[in-house]
Structure 1
Amino acid sequence: MKYKCLKRFALLVSVIAALIVTSCTEEWNKHYSEDFSGTKSNLNLYELIKSKENLNSFTKLLEVSGYDSLLAEDQSFTVFAPDNNALKNIDLNDKVLATEIVMNYTARYAYSTSGIENSIIPMLNKKLLPFERNASNFKFNQIEIGESDLAAQNGILHIIKGYEPYNYNIWEYIYHTEGFDSLRTYVSSLSVEELDVNASYKNGVFVDSIFKTENKLLTDLALINAEDSIYTALLPNNEAWTEILNRVKSYYIMSDADGGVAKQNEVSKWAIIRNLFFRGKIDLPVSEKVLTSTGRVKFYNPDALFQDVEAYELSNGIVYTAGQLHIEDTASWAKPIIIEAENASMGRMLSNFSPQTLSSLGTGFDVSGKYYLGLNDASLNSLAKLHVTFPVPNVLSTKYNIYCIFVPRIILDENDERPYKVKFSLNYYDAEGKKQTGYIDADKNVQSAASAQATFITDPTKIDKFLITENFEFPHSNVVFDYETTAEFVQQIRFSVKVENDTKKTTAEQRSYSRDLLIDCIILEPVL
């Protein structure tokens, strides 16, 4: 791995936050005013800087950027001004660069060297830069201070002997670095402008239409534009983005009713970006056994994720750039889908069953999540059919093996070794978008005729991972992203598994089979 360090950033966020709050108080300014023992000039900061021959270059930057007028105002500032030698290779007439430099070396409030040990200073551009004492002198952003504590009427000037280029945060890196156009274009597309209701109304009266811009990456995944938050980002270059997008898109083929190709691109890109950001700074090799992205994707082989990367330390974390993303399909998008049977929030439907949630704790049985669904016969006559239907969201356009996990009766009564006598059917939409019912036959294939439906007997001696059918292929993905309520979520689910207890309501039949059911979960395992 190549490692390119742009700037050291290794301070705890909690310390940073505390120092920022402290620096913004009047007591902080008063502290420096009382402790400062130097002679105060009659000049304001701009005039003081302009009077120094060794700061001619920085003076030019102030004038080109327009910050000369700000430093002449009756406010309190601290300027860490690089001397002429430090700026000898800088284009002093570049207004964008001049503004960038001035904001990066200027802070509000007065910061003298009095009492400084290891402090963090918030600059005008919101960067958090170190102001430190070492054995013999002081440093700002790792640069030695040549002349310190030059007091002006409106602040303090420190002259430093070097220049460190502006250090991007992760958000800025994405927007300004060549080779990441594909990622940048997608991130930009996530920005939306909407009415700021709070700003548009005052005391309940409409004042003006004030709009704000929000970006889904920042609000839902990571505040990578904030200087007081630390993240690790894995960023694919254009080639890597194209390669993984083409791979992922095959799982998100959408029907025309669900948005077609446009929706396919949208959900595919979001599926990728959910994997790319992590809280905190991750050094290589990775010390954690499991990494969880801010998109809640767990990686159980973290070092494999960061193969062949280049590292860049930025102002709010670290970026690893990649020419290829080593994300396994089954680690992120094409993961098994598990529907816990006891969870009714997905729209589970019952017919002639009375449900209860049961615990497996202390039983010795390995039940998913330690809870399972008990379904008791609540039928009133022998003709009533007993069945339960489990809606399954977020299927992809790929093949799955589909299972129902049955819990044996012996978990409740060690003498009850009756199996379950069951039938299965699937409700789904075909390639033309038509709703279909598929019946599972004796060979565990899906048939359109109900007469082909077979009856199966479960194993009453163990947790039975019962294969319903294998290699069942969905022509379209049914990934549900757009909803605000659970009801809206459930309405968008287009696939379900129906389990029917085929045990007759006769004494003879019930001696051999149970009319009740105990179900742990429904599992769809992708076949890749």
Structure 2
Amino acid sequence: MMKIMKKHHILTPLIGLIYILLLQVGCSDPWDEHARDNEGLTNEPLLERLDEESEASEFMKLLRTSGVDKVLDGNNAYTVFVPDNNSVQTVASSLQNDAEALERFVKNHIAVSTHRLNASADTVRLTMLSGKTLDFVNSEIDGAAFSKSNQAGVDGMYHVITDALIPRQSLWEYMSDHGDELQNAFILGLNEYNLYDTAVVEDPADYYLNNEFLRNVGDMRDENQRFTYFVLKDADFTAEVAQFLPYVNYRNHADSSYAIGQYEIVKDMLFKQAYSKDNLPAMLLSASNVPFPVDKSAISQSVRLSNGWVHMLDRATLPVVNKLIDTYVQGEEPWRFSASVTASTFHRIRKDPYGEFFKDIMIQNHGVSSLQVAYQTARMYSTTYDVYWRALNDVQANVFQQQLGIFEFDTRPSEDDPDIEVRESIYVFPYTNVEQNDYNEVYLGEFNLADYNRIVPVLQGAATTTNGDNTLVLDYLRFVPKLKTN
């Protein structure tokens, strides 16, 4: 009886192992099997394999006419996405008299290296010999389905697809071809001039390096990025700029203010995701954090591009109030100090009563009277602002006071000493108590910013050298722009 039990224990794991192996074989991925079946199918060169493929005959005529066949010389591995004969015949006549377009068309079907069928939901971006980047996902490339896949040669492989991969314009190429539209013309014009004194060193290898839109909002030349771009009709664009002019008063200079107004409109019309009209969400967020409500009924035309989509609007859809977003200044990111207090400066991590962590700055026991900590902002609109701070006094047994002043960013010579540069005050709020263990925002008041420009907020401690009374602390400042009523 014991011998029988021993045999049973020996056979049980053996049977289990066989069962597991059979189960694994039964559950294997059919696409993997398909790939394995074709792997190393032939030792023929890729060009010979393509010549033997009946559905590639029309494409092969174009390949040789264009001269691109010389690229497939066996020195490198390539993947050719072959449009079937019907697809090629549909477009061949448009390519007959344009050698450049023909070469670009053929190269748009060839990628360096070997790429097997991608049946997963993961998007693989393939750079074609045309320079375009195509999305390879879910058994499709750029929307074209596969009718035959993973056909291998010694120097590459090919797939037969059901549509031709016609090279599309990039967003920058499209914009350049539609430079007669005011919105596009403004962006293209930034190649020649700068809105601000922010030009970088000119690089003859990149003519567009100083275009502030390409540099700061999105480089629409980049085939590896994806964009959605909305275009207003000329009349609507002009009306939107005029409506926004009161918020971009730049030193009372009409031409500069108008150019800045144009920039402030277009910078919130570009988004770094590609959405067709059908896939557009109800709300988009621009690079400058402006919420853009999407009204599909306002889209009169959509154009698919190699790196995104353009949607033409028959009316403006972005309210001015949406563009008036809050400006935050983080306390732990000071620009400069009025005195060296490094040993007394603490960058802290705190947790509020809701369990949220935040960083702040505390300058304590520094012995400096009226110590100042200066910050700087990005350019802010010319309007009135409500101002708040959050300042946590959680380690001292006493309440202390601090003060916020708003100063111009630009300096000017002092009237007393021309060699000394000063910043003019815009508004100084009164000293305010920093209560103990108060995690709430504190409203300081409002100030008016007459010019569209950067500002320098300055946090100032009490006018005393007594430690504990001249402490400074700040989580953040928040500037809330107000809508103009007239």
Q: TM-score, normalised on structure 1? A: 0.56
2:392 and 2:434 in contact (8 A); partners too: yes
Q: 2:420 maps to what in 1?
A: none
Deviation, 1:36, is: 3.0
Q: 1:465 maps to what in 2?
A: 442
Q: 2:184 maps to what in 1?
A: 183
Structure 1 residue corresponding to 2:289, chosen from 298, 303, 306: 298
Relative to 1, partners in 2 of residues 1:264 and 1:387: Cα closer, same or farther, differing over 3 Å?
Answer: farther
Residue 349 (structure 2) pairs with residue 349 (structure 1) = no
- Separation in structure 2 between the aligned mates of residue 404 and residue 500 of structure 1, nearest angstrom: 17
- Separation in structure 2 between the aligned mates of residue 460 and residue 133 of structure 1, nearest angstrom: 59
Report the aligned-residue RMSD: 5.8
Q: 2:478 maps to what in 1?
A: 523
Secondary structure at 2:378's aligned position in 1?
A: coil
1:372 and 1:518 in contact (8 A); partners too: yes
1:426 and 1:497 in contact (8 A); partners too: yes
Secondary structure at 2:272's aligned position in 1?
A: strand
1:400 and 1:524 in contact (8 A); partners too: no
Q: 1:373 maps to what in 2?
A: 362
Q: 1:428 maps to what in 2?
A: 408
Relative to 1, partners in 2 of residues 1:501 and 1:221: Cα closer, same or farther, differing over 3 Å?
Answer: same
Cα displacement string for residues 11-56 of structure 1 (whole angstroms, at most 9, x for unaligned residues): xxxxxxxxxxxxxxxxxxxx99952388999x999xx79xx9x978
Structure 2 residue corresponding to 1:335, chosen from 325, 331, 334: 325
Relative to 1, partners in 2 of residues 1:478 and 1:68: Cα closer, same or farther, differing over 3 Å?
Answer: closer
- Separation in structure 2 between the aligned mates of residue 261 and residue 373 of structure 1, nearest angstrom: 44
Q: 1:67 maps to what in 2?
A: 67
Deviation, 1:386, is: 2.4
Residue 15 (structure 2) pairs with residue 35 (structure 1) = no
The aligned amino acid for 1:478 is N
- Separation in structure 2 between the aligned mates of residue 412 and residue 465 of structure 1, nearest angstrom: 19
List aligned pairs for 1:20-31, cutoff 5 A. Answer: none
Cα displacement string for residues 103-162 of structure 1 (whole angstroms, at most 9, x for unaligned residues): 334566799xxx75759875431345689999xxx99963676999899x9999988776
List aligned pairs for 1:505-524, cutoff 5 A. Answer: 514-524=469-479
- Separation in structure 2 between the aligned mates of residue 394 and residue 349 of structure 1, nearest angstrom: 21
Deviation, 1:189, is: 3.5
Unmatched 5+ residue regions in structure 1?
1-30, 197-209, 380-384, 445-454, 480-492
Q: 1:101 maps to what in 2?
A: 105
List aligned pairs for 1:70-469, cutoff 5 A. Answer: 70=70, 78=80, 80=82, 83=85, 85-87=89-91, 90=94, 92-105=96-109, 123-127=128-132, 142=144, 163=164, 165-176=166-177, 180=181, 182-183=183-184, 186-187=187-188, 189-190=190-191, 211-215=205-209, 221-222=217-218, 224-227=220-223, 229-239=224-234, 241-255=237-251, 261-262=255-256, 265=259, 269=263, 272-273=266-267, 276-279=270-273, 284=279, 286=281, 293=286, 295=287, 297-298=288-289, 303-304=293-294, 308-309=298-299, 311-324=302-315, 326-329=317-320, 331-332=322-323, 334-344=324-334, 346-349=335-338, 355-357=344-346, 359=348, 361=350, 364=353, 369-376=358-365, 378=367, 385-388=369-372, 390-401=374-385, 403=387, 405=389, 407=391, 411-413=394-396, 416=398, 418=399, 420=401, 426-428=406-408, 436-437=424-425, 458=433, 460=435, 462=438, 463=440, 465-468=442-445
Cα displacement string for residues 373-426 of structure 1 (whole angstroms, at most 9, x for unaligned residues): 3454615xxxxx5252534433434123353636475x3356x4x463x66655
- Separation in structure 2 between the aligned mates of residue 522 and residue 466 of structure 1, nearest angstrom: 10
- Separation in structure 2 between the aligned mates of residue 140 and residue 279 of structure 1, nearest angstrom: 16
- Separation in structure 1 between the aligned mates of residue 473 and residue 45 of structure 2, nearest angstrom: 84
Q: 1:489 maps to what in 2?
A: none
Secondary structure at 2:358's aligned position in 1?
A: helix
Q: TM-score, normalised on structure 2? A: 0.60
The aligned amino acid for 2:479 is L
Deviation, 1:326, is: 3.8
- Separation in structure 1 between the aligned mates of residue 200 and residue 249 of structure 2, nearest angstrom: 29
- Separation in structure 2 between the aligned mates of residue 230 and residue 147 of structure 1, nearest angstrom: 27
Deviation, 1:472, is: 1.5
Secondary structure at 2:247's aligned position in 1?
A: coil
- Separation in structure 1 between the aligned mates of residue 45 and residue 395 of structure 2, nearest angstrom: 87
Relative to 1, partners in 2 of residues 1:38 and 1:376: Cα closer, same or farther, differing over 3 Å?
Answer: closer
- Separation in structure 2 between the aligned mates of residue 312 and residue 520 of structure 1, nearest angstrom: 46
1:374 and 1:519 in contact (8 A); partners too: no
1:118 and 1:131 in contact (8 A); partners too: no
Q: 1:485 maps to what in 2?
A: none
Cα displacement string for residues 197-249 of structure 1 (whole angstroms, at most 9, x for unaligned residues): xxxxxxxxxxxxx834454566655464454x352313224435444444455
1:232 and 1:318 in contact (8 A); partners too: yes
Unmatched 5+ residue regions in structure 2?
1-36, 193-198, 415-422
Secondary structure at 1:393's aligned position in 2?
A: coil
2:38 and 2:150 in contact (8 A); partners too: no
1:306 and 1:320 in contact (8 A); partners too: no
- Separation in structure 2 between the aligned mates of residue 117 and residue 335 of structure 1, nearest angstrom: 43
Cα displacement string for residues 449-490 of structure 1 (whole angstroms, at most 9, x for unaligned residues): xxxxxx65647464562424x34232x2224xxxxxxxxxxx
Cα displacement string for residues 292-334 of structure 1 (whole angstroms, at most 9, x for unaligned residues): 54x3x335x56548773455544444444434554455655x4
